Amino acid sequence: MIKFKFLEILKTLKVGFGKDIAIDWGSRYCYTWSKQTGFEAFLSTVWLDDKDHIKAWGNANQASLAKYKPQPLIKNGYLTDFKLSIEYIKLLLNSILERFELIKPTVWIAINTQTHSSEVEGLDFVLTQAGVGKIHFVNQNLALAIHYNFNFKQTKTQTMLHFGQQQTLISTISSGGFIQEKVLNFGAQAIDTIIEDYIRNVYRLSVSIYDIENLKSLLAPGKFRTQIWGKDLLSDRIKSVDLEYNEIWNQTKSQIDNLTDLVKDYIMLLPDEIVNDLVDNGILVSGGGAMFGKICEYLQIKLNLNLFIDPDPRTTIISGMQKIIENKDDYLNSSYVPITKLNNRNTS
């Protein structure tokens, strides 16, 4: 009875006992999951004052940020500033955790297989300084496979393609683990830059990267025309222009052709028997870049393979990490689904 009342008092005071938090920290968004808060998405950019102090972060109102300078925290897979990253993670943890934690939280953070050891050590330092206890580094491709409920006892393989903001992941997994994994030098940011330059040069209009991202999802097949607002470069006034789907698609097609060639090169390196599975099972597609126009339809024709887009392509990695946490004992003790663990510090 006394123990029960004590637990109730702790709940009233919002005292926590060490939570598991999943983080997929990309160059545009930082996705998180915990049992208490569920899925959340925060911008991976902070806004600084003239003394380089964080004045806004996360999903701050864009209209109120004109007097501050934006600082992306991740570029090309690397942290841009350790001090700001530590403050960012502290803010992130404060939004997820209870008022007081008796045990430091455990963080499961996604990394790709080509992340340099020095960058892993940097992430470890940032998370530790921000107040994290145990840290588990999880292969992003593994999280994807678990999101898709890949059966590790089956004999057939599965290939996955994930369009990131600055890089694209492609991997092929079997019951024994990954047969092949690669990070392709292609990201949705390349498409963003082309669209931004086109609107600036043709329509003399300056638009934000967030408007560009919205534009990419609006200009899908069947939605042939949309309106976008920005600042007129000549008059400095706010105005709108109408954009057609085909004019934007034609500007970006050469970049998508480059991606097609990279995927073809990847497939060429696969064993013949794996290619047969690829023909049967197709490619599972995710990532925010997959939402742009008819990119998947185009790739499907060029590769002569079936491509299947996830219903919620942006959250596939964090969804897989949720499943890992919910079944963590199985995964941590598994020999066929390895999780990279830089440390197992008991920092309670």
- DSSP letter for each residue of 2-52: HHHHHHHHHHHTTEE---EEEEEE-SSEEEEEETTTEEEEEEEEEEE-TTS
- Which pLDDT score, from 0 to 100, does residue 18 have? 58
Predicted confidence (pLDDT) per residue in 2-46, tens digit: 544 544 544 554 444 458 999 999 888 999 999 989 999 998 989
CB 258 within 8 A of CB 134: no
Is pLDDT at 114 greater than 90 in this prediction?
A: no
Mark whether 173 and 47 lie in a shared domain.
no
C-alpha pair distances (Å), 36 with each of 97, 143, 170, 188, 245: 8, 20, 32, 32, 41
C-alpha pair distances (Å), 263 with each of 279, 294, 300, 303: 14, 17, 11, 8
| Host H or E run for residue 71 | strand 69-72
Separation CA 248–CA 105 (nearest Å): 45
Q: Is residue 213 part of a domain?
A: yes
* Mean pLDDT value of segment 173-200: 89
> CB count, 10 Å around CB of 192?
20
Mark whether 216 and 166 lie in a shared domain.
no
Mark whether 165 and 220 lie in a shared domain.
no
DSSP secondary structure letter of residue 158? E
Mark whether 107 and 227 lie in a shared domain.
no
Q: Is residue 344 part of a domain?
A: no
Predicted confidence (pLDDT) per residue in 208-263, tens digit: 777 787 777 776 656 677 888 888 888 888 888 888 888 888 888 888 999 999 99
CATH of the domain at 199: 3.90.640.10
CATH of the domain at 172: 3.30.420.40
Q: How many domains does the chain have?
A: 3
Mark whether 287 and 225 lie in a shared domain.
no
Mark whether 31 and 131 lie in a shared domain.
yes
Is pLDDT at 1 greater than 80 in this prediction?
A: no
Mark whether 208 and 282 lie in a shared domain.
no
- Which pLDDT score, from 0 to 100, does residue 262 have? 95
> CB count, 10 Å around CB of 331?
19
Q: Look-up: residue for tokens 């219903």?
A: 311
Is pLDDT at 273 greater than 60 in this prediction?
A: yes
Cβ neighbors of 74 (< 8 A, separation 6 or more) are 25, 26, 27, 44, 80
Question: What are 59's two structure tokens?
Answer: 């999903």
Half-sphere exposure of 21 (CA within 13 A, CB side): 29
Mark whether 171 and 308 lie in a shared domain.
yes
Of the candidates 183, 318, 157, the residue with the CA atom closest to the CA atom of residue 259: 183
Mark whether 101 and 23 lie in a shared domain.
yes
Q: How confident is the model at residue 343 (pLDDT cuts 50, 70, 90)?
A: very low
Mark whether 247 and 115 lie in a shared domain.
no
Q: Which domain holds residue 158?
A: 154-187+255-314
Is pLDDT at 318 greater than 70 in this prediction?
A: yes
Mark whether 44 and 127 lie in a shared domain.
yes
Separation CA 85–CA 74 (nearest Å): 9
Q: Is residue 149 part of a domain?
A: no
- Which pLDDT score, from 0 to 100, does residue 346 have? 40
Of the candidates 202, 226, 251, which is a domain's last residue? 251
Q: Is residue 226 part of a domain?
A: yes
Q: Is residue 347 part of a domain?
A: no
* Mean pLDDT value of segment 132-158: 91
Q: Is residue 173 part of a domain?
A: yes
The pTM assigned to this predicted structure is 0.86
Of the candidates 205, 233, 251, which is a domain's last residue? 251
Cβ neighbors of 285 (< 8 A, separation 6 or more) are 160, 161, 162, 163, 296, 307, 308, 309, 310, 313
Q: Is residue 343 part of a domain?
A: no
Mark whether 78 and 8 lie in a shared domain.
yes
| Host H or E run for residue 138 | strand 135-139
Q: Is residue 32 part of a domain?
A: yes
- Which pLDDT score, from 0 to 100, does residue 348 have? 36
